[in-house]
Each structure stands twice: as structure tokens, then as C-alpha cells.
């Protein structure tokens, strides 16, 4: 489904990613962990074509997206939705316009648009907020709107960048439950970047640990905890 082949991403002579190879199967919840600055967000940006690797290849369903034109990449970005580290909503647009952003070119009748928006907001557990502005929502609600906006694109893959960071434990739990529910209902593939070990083992089918630009470990959450590798042990003890 998703494959990175020997991906190098260089910035100012430094290899942020230094030969990353990964395969993520359809329907997985694949978690990427690693210290701050390890290159986790960079991987997500490569997966939806916001960045192109310096060398190596990125395949989505067998298609090498590193070779696509900017126009063709738009198609990939619809299929591979990125939920940003900050909710990154359009601050000047009300919630309904944020969620309905994917349909803006369809010229839907107002009632139909609102009905669709409400259906998706209900899916993320939000009711009656469609007319509010993003600034009038709490951080947790903004994350859910951001998730709703991604879901509206009907993607095959959802990339989550730190979906629970900055949230209290109860709201975090709600977001994680929601991610699992969406996973089951929409049959998507999820790639989740998180610092939260507990969250990773709760929702991850597999976990990868990124260290110094390379994948130091890939395995099930149970295997992560049992790994004899010192890098993994250090990470687990620190988390």
C-alpha cells in the first residue's frame, strides 16, 4: 500500500532522513515515534507530496509519487489526507466551510452542503458548531474539526501528526477512540506520529522508531516493549 524505498531528505547538507525504508499495509494503524527533530513530520509531508525526497522513492498503491507533476500531486493529496500537528484550520472561515472545503468546487445546494457537513461533524462527535469560527472552539474541538475536514475528503490514507499533543488525558482518549472508530468505519490506512507511548500501544498495529534519520525499529507494540535494542529501551524508559 505505502512504501518508502531508501528515502533520503537533505536540508542544508544534513540528511534529516538518511535511507528510510518502510512498508505500511492497507488498513494498518502504523505509528511513527522518535525524539523531537527526528524527522517524523518530514515523513508525513513526503507521504502526501508536500515534500519530495532528495533521493529514494515513495509509492502509494504501487505508484511512484516522487515522479508526479505538481498537478498530479493534487490527486495524491486528496487520497492521502494530512491532519496537521496544529489543527491548521482556516481561521477566517466558519466550521462548515472548513469541513466542506473538499467540496467547494461542487457547487452543492446550501441544504445539501449543510447536511453533509453535519453528518461528518456528528461522526467526530461535534453537533451544532457548524456556524462557529475556529477561534470560538477549544483546542480539542479544533482537532476534531480538523479531523472532520480530512474525513470529508474521503481519503484512503489519513496521516495524523501528534493528534493528542496539548490535550488533557480525557480529550486525548476521545480523539484516540475516534481515530480507531474512523479506521473501522471508513476502512482507511492510518499513519500516526506521536510521542505518546501509551497511545501508540493502544492504537498501533505496528510501531516504528526513527533515530538519527534511520528506522531503528519496526514491530508490534508488544515487541517494542520487549526489544533488547538499547536505542529502543532508552526510548521506552524515557517515555
Ligand X SMILES: Nc1ncnc2c1ncn2[C@@H]1O[C@H](COP(=O)(O)OP(=O)(O)OP(=O)(O)O)[C@@H](O)[C@H]1O
11 binds, among ligand X, Mg ion, none (CB under 5 to 8 A by kind): ligand X
- CB-nearer residue toward Mg ion: 123 or 207: 207
CB of 153 to ligand X, least distance (A): 22
163 binds, among Mg ion, ligand X, none (CB under 5 to 8 A by kind): none
Binding interface with Mg ion (CB under 5 A):
41
39 binds, among ligand X, Mg ion, none (CB under 5 to 8 A by kind): ligand X
CB of 217 to Mg ion, least distance (A): 19
Per-residue burial over 163-202, b = 16 or more CB atoms within 10 Å of its CB, e = otherwise? bbeebeeebbebbbebbeebbeeeebbbbbbbebbebbeb
d(CA 126, CA 7): 39
CB of 207 to ligand X, least distance (A): 15
Instruction: Write the CA distances from 69 to 36, 56, 228, integer angstroms.
Output: 31, 17, 44
CB of 117 to ligand X, least distance (A): 30
- CB-nearer residue toward ligand X: 15 or 118: 15
CB of 131 to Mg ion, least distance (A): 32
Binding interface with ligand X (CB under 6 A):
11, 16, 34, 36-42
CB of 65 to ligand X, least distance (A): 18
- CB-nearer residue toward ligand X: 222 or 231: 231
Per-residue burial over 144-155, b = 16 or more CB atoms within 10 Å of its CB, e = otherwise? bbbbbbbbbbeb
142 binds, among Mg ion, ligand X, none (CB under 5 to 8 A by kind): none
Do 111 and 188 meet the contact criterion of CB atoms below 8 Å apart?
Answer: no
- CB-nearer residue toward Mg ion: 80 or 121: 80
Largest CA distance in the chain: 59
Burial of 157 (0-12, 13-18, 19+ CB in 10 A): buried
Q: In sequence order, which residues have a C-beta less than 8 Å from that of residue 127 and are 6 or more positions away?
A: 118, 121
42 binds, among Mg ion, ligand X, none (CB under 5 to 8 A by kind): ligand X
**Closest residue to bound Mg ion by CB:** 41
Q: What three-state secondary structure class fits 220?
A: coil
Amino acid at each position: 500500500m505505502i512504501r518508502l524505498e531508501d528515502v533520503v531528505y537533505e536540508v542544508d547538507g544534513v540528511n534529516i532522513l538518511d535511507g528510510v525504508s518502510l512498508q505500511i499495509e492497507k488498513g494498518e494503524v502504523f505509528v511513527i515515534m522518535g525524539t523531537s527533530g527526528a524527522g517524523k513530520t518530514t515523513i508525513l509531508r513526503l507521504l502526501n507530496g508536500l515534500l519530495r525526497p532528495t533521493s529514494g522513492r515513495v509509492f502509494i498503491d504501487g505508484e511512484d509519487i516522487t515522479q508526479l507533476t505538481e498537478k498530479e500531486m493534487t490527486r495524491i493529496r486528496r487520497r492521502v489526507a494530512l491532519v496537521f500537528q496544529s489543527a491548521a484550520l482556516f481561521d477566517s472561515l466558519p466550521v462548515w466551510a472548513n469541513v466542506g472545503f473538499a467540496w467547494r468546487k461542487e457547487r452543492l445546494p446550501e441544504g445539501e452542503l449543510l447536511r453533509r457537513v453535519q453528518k461528518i461533524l456528528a461522526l467526530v462527535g461535534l453537533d451544532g458548531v457548524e456556524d462557529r469560527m475556529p477561534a470560538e472552539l477549544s483546542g480539542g474541538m479544533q482537532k476534531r474539526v480538523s479531523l472532520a475536514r480530512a474525513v470529508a475528503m474521503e481519503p484512503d490514507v489519513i496521516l495524523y501528526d501528534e493528534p493528542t499533543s496539548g490535550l488533557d488525558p480525557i480529550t486525548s482518549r476521545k480523539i484516540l477512540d475516534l481515530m480507531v472508530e474512523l479506521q473501522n468505519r471508513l476502512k482507511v490506512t492510518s499513519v500516526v506520529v506521536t510521542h505518546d507511548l501509551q497511545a501508540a500501544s493502544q492504537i498501533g498495529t505496528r510501531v516504528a522508531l526513527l533515530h538519527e534519520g534511520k528506522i531503528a525499529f519496526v514491530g508490534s507494540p508488544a515487541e517494542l516493549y520487549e526489544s533488547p535494542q538499547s536505542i529502543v529501551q532508552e526510548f521506552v524508559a524515557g517515555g
